[in-house]
């Protein structure tokens, strides 16, 4: 089973793919897809071009690695920046559609749930998440950049939740 974790963002979209074979998790690939603002364009036009770039790059990742399932860090608006929140919401919509069109089921987990699953604390720092992702996956170096580490943490969370759900079903 291959699980793709995604940390959505317009400037930097983190992704990480894990292979799950029974109790063992293996890192397949991780990275970040990046876009840059085009100065001189209207915000809406710039957003459309950047979402298109991300969509093509994300589809290449999907086509190359063919994940079975996906885990997306859930988007939540906290009233800080309406513009950036709308941008991320558009990215999440693109992700959902790219996954849906390939028949890949996607679960979404809050940042707090991901931190709790990976570190044991919903208030863990980015550095703590990186260290625990490294430990969970038996990596020699910290996963970098942070967006890729967050995506791997989402995938780890999904594997843990799926295992728990299967164990609960068997015991019922």
pLDDT tens track for 116-163 = 999 999 999 999 999 999 999 999 999 999 999 999 999 999 999 887
Q: What is the pTM of this model?
A: 0.92
Selected catalytic residue, list 30, 46, 69, 147: 147
Residue 39 is a catalytic residue: no
48: domain CATH number is 3.30.420.10
Alpha carbons within 13 A on the beta-carbon side of 57: 18
Residue 147 is a catalytic residue: yes
The sign of the torsion formed by the CA atoms of 8, 104, 106, 145 equals: negative
Selected catalytic residue, list 73, 108, 136, 150: 73
Contacts of 116 (CB under 8 A, 6+ apart): 122, 124
pLDDT value, residue 44: 81
Domains in the chain: how many in total?
Answer: 1
Residue 30 is a catalytic residue: no
| DSSP state, residue 75 | P
Range of the domain at 60: 2-171
pLDDT digits (tens, 9 = 90+) for 89-119: 999 999 999 999 999 999 999 999 999 999 9
Selected catalytic residue, list 7, 46, 69, 108: 7
């Amino acid at each position: 089973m291959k699980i793709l974790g995604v940390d959505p963002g317009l400037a930097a979209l983190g992704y990480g793919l894990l292979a799950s074979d029974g109790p063992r998790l293996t890192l397949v690939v991780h990275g970040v897809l990046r876009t840059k603002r085009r100065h001189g364009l209207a915000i809406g036009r710039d957003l459309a071009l950047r979402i298109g770039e991300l969509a093509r790059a994300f589809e290449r990742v999907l086509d190359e690695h063919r994940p079975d399932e996906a885990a997306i860090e859930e988007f939540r608006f906290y009233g800080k920046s309406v513009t950036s929140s709308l941008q991320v919401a558009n990215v999440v919509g693109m992700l959902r559609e790219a996954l849906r069109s390939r028949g890949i089921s996607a679960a979404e987990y809050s940042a707090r749930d991901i931190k709790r699953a990976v570190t044991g604390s919903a208030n863990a720092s980015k550095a703590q998440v990186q260290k625990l992702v490294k430990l969970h996956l038996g990596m020699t170096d910290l996963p970098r950049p942070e967006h890729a580490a967050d995506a791997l943490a989402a995938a780890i969370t999904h594997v843990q939740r799926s295992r728990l759900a299967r164990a609960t079903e068997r015991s019922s």
